[in-house]
Amino acid sequence: MHKDVERVILSEEKLENIVKSLAKQIEKDYNGREFIMVGLLKGSIVFMAELMTKINLDFRIDFMVASSYGGGTESSGKVKIIKDLSISAKDKDILIVEDIVDSGNTLNFVINHLVSNGAASVKVVTLCDKPDRRKVPLVPDYCGAVIPDEFIVGYGLDYDEKYRNLPYIGILKRSVYE
């Protein structure tokens, strides 16, 4: 375990089981449908890479960058799209891949953006859900794990662009960011 991590909440084994389970649900729901898997960068990259290798369907991938964090530990609430899709969302089924749903502000903004650009449907798969922090009424369609209201890192999740490479998800020690 990394010296800055207080404790592991999702081990490598647990993450592998979560990804396999989510992939099976997505395969069942999207069987026979063409869809675009859209990763919200940067945090979703590890989760999306693992998830897409477990889904035995044909689909396209694309990425978006939307941010409301900056360098802090809490959402600023102001969302901006830094990189939009390169594939048109018009009349397409979209599956957003998210690392964590926290306040829901960024994800809500992205969903509304895709719908306003003509997406046929928009669903969300998230690795982690932190409903205690929700500021908008948003429930992910697929959820790997509901987690406590702690600042987590690893498996793509970062603090100030660090810790993304940890193979597990752990709670970051408060002394690191306070």
Positions marked active-site:
102
68: phi then psi, degrees, rounded to nearest 5: -140, 15
Helix axes 45-54, 12-30, angle to 10 degrees: 60
* Residue 41 tokens, joined: 């960068």
Q: How far is CA 29 from CA 23, 78, 95, in A?
A: 10, 33, 11
Residue 153 has a CB neighbour count (10 Å cut-off) of 25
